[in-house]
Amino acid sequence: MTDFTLIRLKHSVRAHGDAALQRIQEITRMSPVELAASPDLKEEFTKLLSDNVNFVSDMNHESLGPEVLRMYSRREQATTAAEDYINSSELSLSRQNRKYTICHAKDLSRPLHSRRDLYETTDPYIKRSLDKKRREPRRLLFHEGAVFEATVNGKGYSQSQVLMMVEKPKQKDIESWADIQLLAAPAKYSHTLTDDLPDKDTLLEEGWTEVTIGVTQERNNLKVSHSECYRKQYTLRHVGASTINKQQGQTIYGPVAIEVRKFASCCSMYACLNTFAHSYRHLPSSYLSKRLHQNVLHGKKSKLW
């Protein structure tokens, strides 16, 4: 007869070694009836957030550097999130006097079924369509330590694999759309944005591999209205900005900033608090604690569960 050993988990594996995060998660998982009947929990929860969470006014706050992962509600458009990340990271890099380069995509189009060469377009409808249908963004921020994910499969890497830029490409190479060199993360890597500039030799010893990244290929062009469209951009996108839904199931290390003013409900906040591997993160606006307390402690079950 086979014997089994059962182990009871009293807290999430992600919160191992962090008593404060364990307690925060425990309170958010309590029944609304239990919370409403225990006023002391409100004071305890408020103190836990005050002691373990930093509140800032917006995503452009000076304390939010490029190493901070921005997380947006599910209603936030991915394009806007990426642009917000680039804008705030650019401000942070400028404050730190760190060198960076912005690579602007080149959007091209031509009449449908035409044999003429593609020409650069400024049509806002075409640009919005490319934003929606193509994974590559309008802008990419290149700097030492930048973290991306691949948008296509390539030699030595696969789509959505984490890539790190150890050396910033030369401006002339970017302007000529020359291939650039990045390091691909090993399998099952949980990405961590960090303000410490990475050492290439150390990363190679840890299993990272050097790969070559090129630009999007002119095939399977997007058809928009009566036009054929193509976005020329490096096959990368930033991992510094994401939606909460996309990060569910992931384990996130390092500081995180959560945009909370546009939350439709507290379900997303519940998911956030159970995703982190530690309790240090930035939460823009004290509106978070006010709304979370209102919904949790007053028994509004549909708002949280």
Q: Could you read off the pLDDT of 4-21 as tens digits, one per residue?
A: 888 877 777 777 777 888
pLDDT of amino acid 126: 93
The two structure tokens encoding residue 138: 């309008």
When the pLDDT of each residue in the chain is averaged and rounded to a whole number, the result is 78
With b for 16 or more beta-carbon neighbours within 10 A and e for fewer, the 238-263 pattern comes to bbbbbbbeebeeeebebbbbbbbeeb
CA distances from 69 to 62, 86, 247, 253, 283 (A): 14, 12, 11, 9, 11
Calculate mean pLDDT across residues 215-239. 90
Calculate mean pLDDT across residues 72-76. 60
**Residue 1 above 80 pLDDT?**
no
The two structure tokens encoding residue 234: 């490096």
pLDDT of amino acid 288: 40
The two structure tokens encoding residue 159: 């789509």
pLDDT of amino acid 212: 96
pLDDT of amino acid 211: 96
Reported pTM: 0.69
- Domain limits of the chain? 13-59+259-304, 96-239
Q: Which of 154-168, 265-279, 291-305 has the lowest mean pLDDT?
A: 291-305
- Which has more pLDDT, 2 or 191? 2
Among 33, 53, 54, 37, CA closest to 45: 53
* Measured distance CA(215)–CA(178) in Å, rounded: 8
- Percent of the residues in the chain that have a pLDDT greater than 70, as a whole number: 74
- Name the band, by pLDDT with cuts 50, 70 and 90, for residue 151: very high
Q: In this predicted model, what pLDDT tens digit does every residue of 12-59 receive, in sequence order?
A: 777 777 788 888 888 888 888 888 888 898 899 888 888 888 877 777
- Name the band, by pLDDT with cuts 50, 70 and 90, for residue 292: very low
Determine the length of the chain: 305
- Name the band, by pLDDT with cuts 50, 70 and 90, for residue 293: very low
